[in-house]
Structure 1
């Protein structure tokens, strides 16, 4: 899977086309806004939305684990979408996936949906923490606007960026990197997105299928203080 290797806060991180961040030094994946059970919650309200999004999310996680040596996944909030997400089929699929990865550490930084949905079942073996969760130079959060020490890695916004060429427009998930924070795209298969308008000092990396690339002309020409090294791999 292709990725962009960048330097943030003197640490090497990989922005993945799989809409996650890999921290090689920690063998860690960072995933934002997976929203397990969102489709189930919508169907409970009578909205006819597709089935299968839970398995799609779990397969996407498994695909990342196959591609990157990983000892821990940190979910940056909104793990369960709502209390209605606790349908037996949803929980059974999650439990079966967990049983296939018994040695993998899982940590959840509580987000706004988690406060309403409640903590995941204890049988999933997820360590629960509140934001900001400090790890090295980073503050792992759900809300990107949180004022805290450390470089913020967060979700919540579900950022997407509109790429325009002549009369054509593409709406793509993106990573948004600024001087003090980075926002991850939503990982979930059924989550939607919010179009962002980057500030002059923010760089944008968009995800298109299995590729990720920086949007040219967006942000400063040189961003040594932000991403002094960018390598497409």
Structure 2
């Protein structure tokens, strides 16, 4: 199953196996913590990390746009990882991607990394907003613990869940859904994760091998 339909704040949302959320009524794709330029930032510090993560992230966005009718992408913070993300090669790839989607609305809810990295170039045509950003019944945020009027959709945590079976353990990206907020997994190809422990009133949906399913409990 590539997506799972849920009801939040009276609206139907789809949790996508590709670590994003889709709001069919708003034709909106919601992405958290893509961290463009993180690998570049590490390499600038002399850390040998893989190349090509920017291209991988952009290809992942293209795949979602091909599968889901979309008028807007909202990025829930940490679009750029650091000032090094303004490297010419990184920006060139992003501009080439933007040129393929000129009519697509892009909105960035500033996160903590964005404050340090600085806003992306205006030539990318991204609308910059501060949290909380209202869209229908939702408060689109970066930080999940922000007090907001509306059901909070946020990132920041990079949640993962340890799924155990006998002596085997899998560490999988997950969505964490509670009564007043949902935390999305990190979308970026080169990001870590924080192991969460859900509360009794929270639901966990893990993603693995292009599938998504709810963890019993």
TM-score between the two structures when normalised by the length of structure 2: 0.99
RMSD over aligned CA atoms reads 0.6
Q: Supply the distance in 1 between the matched residues of 2:209 and 2:59 (Cα, whole angstroms).
A: 15
Secondary structure at the aligned position of 1:94 is classed as helix
Could you list the structure 1 runs, at least 4 aligned residues long, displaced by more than 6 angstroms after superposition. none
Task: State the 1:2 CA deviation.
Answer: 1.1
1:117 aligned partner: 117
Query: Are 1:68 and 2:75 matched, yes or no?
Result: no
Task: State the 1:148 CA deviation.
Answer: 1.2
2:49 aligned partner: 49
Task: State the 1:71 CA deviation.
Answer: 0.5
1:183 aligned partner: 183
Q: Supply the distance in 1 between the matched residues of 2:92 and 2:150 (Cα, whole angstroms).
A: 37
**Equivalent residues in 2 for 1:59-208, closer than 5 Å:** 59-208=59-208
The superposition leaves residues 175-214 of structure 1 with CA deviations (integer Å, 9 ceiling, x where unpaired) of 0000000000000000110000000100000000200000
Q: Where does structure 2 lack aligned partners over 5 or more consecutive residues?
A: none
Q: Supply the distance in 2 between the matched residues of 1:163 and 1:200 (Cα, whole angstroms).
A: 17
Q: Supply the distance in 2 between the matched residues of 1:136 and 1:71 (Cα, whole angstroms).
A: 15
TM-score between the two structures when normalised by the length of structure 1: 0.92
Secondary structure at the aligned position of 2:25 is classed as helix
The superposition leaves residues 41-75 of structure 1 with CA deviations (integer Å, 9 ceiling, x where unpaired) of 00000000000000000000000000000000000
The superposition leaves residues 111-158 of structure 1 with CA deviations (integer Å, 9 ceiling, x where unpaired) of 000000000000100000000001111000000000111100000000
